[in-house]
Structures are given as C-alpha cells and as structure tokens.
Amino acid sequence: GLIIAADTSLEATNKITSVRTQYGFTTDAEFKFDTRSRPAGLSTTQFSQAKNEVLEACGELEVRFMAYAVHHGIAGMRRADIWLWALNTLLCQFDLFLQREKSHGICSVDRFENDLGLLKRIHQQGVEPKFWGGKLPHRLENIWCYSTININTTHLASMVDIVLGAFRYCVNEVVKKKSVVEV
C-alpha cells in the first residue's frame, strides 16, 4: 500500500489527472500498471512514460510504500488466510507508522469479498487475535476510518496500482542467466 500525507493527496490526484490528460486517457479508461489495460491508441512507450511520471510524482510527494511478501508455499495457508494475514500485518504496520509520526489516518483498500463486513469488524474489534499469538484483539488506535475503493473511484487508486505493479515486476521478473566462466 501507499502512505500519502493528507496535505499532498490533492496534489497527487491532480498529478495523475494531468498525466491522464497529457497522454489522452478517456475519463472512463483505467490507468493501471498492467500493459494489458493500456487504452487503445496509446503506444506501449507512451504508456510506460505515463507510469514513470506517476512513479516520479510519488518520489516528489514523498509517498511511502509498504509491502508484504511471502511465498505461498512457505506460508502454508489457504489463499484467503494468506490474504487476511497480509491485510492484518499491513494494517498493524500502518498503525505503528502513524503512532511513530504522532498522527492518525484512514485506510482505503481495494474491494474484496465481504470487504465491508471485515473492515467493520477490524474497526470495532481490532485485527484477528489468531494472527497475533492468540492475545486479545489488537486495536488499531491510529486508524480512524476504513473504506473500500476501486480503480476508477479515485486517481489515488491508480497511483497505488502503478507502484505495486512496479514492485511486483521488480520482484517477479525473471533474470536472464549470463554464462559463467569458472577460473
């Protein structure tokens, strides 16, 4: 996920609006990392340049990135449990970040099955105790609002998708083996 300071969120939104306009995105076109989502009429090079401008804006606006990575074979859980573990972990880390910054924040996540029910429970009770050694639910005191979004409900979702997609690309890209000469 991304951590975007409230006082720069409008500037971030405006930057993505500007990039969309510059590269000719229609108002209903998705702006995601995946090249398969590239609008017709936009070359792969132009699409890459648009994404690079969003990444550069993240640096300029001091947007922070949080990621949770685990090999599913190592996690040894059902896919739904892996996802919930990741959500709980990221929420706890966001809460700790806010605590260190002496701040509060909101959390908007992409839609998922039973999203509002789960976010309601987290808001009211904290994260699942089974993920934290069976202790009482861990309350997230610095997160005061939970919501769901999707790609065309806010341009900030495009920013998240592009940054996360770039991270996934870096982690998952197969490195071509070079021949090694032993000495």
Q: For 85-118, write each residue's pLDDT tens digit.
A: 888 889 999 999 999 999 999 999 888 878 888 8
Q: What is the mean pLDDT of residues 21-46?
A: 93
pLDDT value of residue 47: 96
Q: How confident is the model at residue 174 (pLDDT cuts 50, 70, 90)?
A: low
pLDDT at 135 over 70: no
Residue 64 DSSP SS3: strand
d(CA 35, CA 91): 29
pLDDT at 79 over 90: no
pLDDT-wise least confident of 46-55, 104-113, 166-175: 166-175
pLDDT at 80 over 90: no
Q: How confident is the model at residue 133 (pLDDT cuts 50, 70, 90)?
A: low
pLDDT at 13 over 50: yes
d(CA 158, CA 150): 9
Smallest Cα–Cα separation from 3: which of 95, 69, 88, 102?
A: 95
pLDDT value of residue 175: 53
Dihedral angle sign, alpha carbons of residues 177, 38, 70, 53: positive
pLDDT value of residue 131: 54
Q: What is the mean pLDDT of residues 52-65?
A: 97
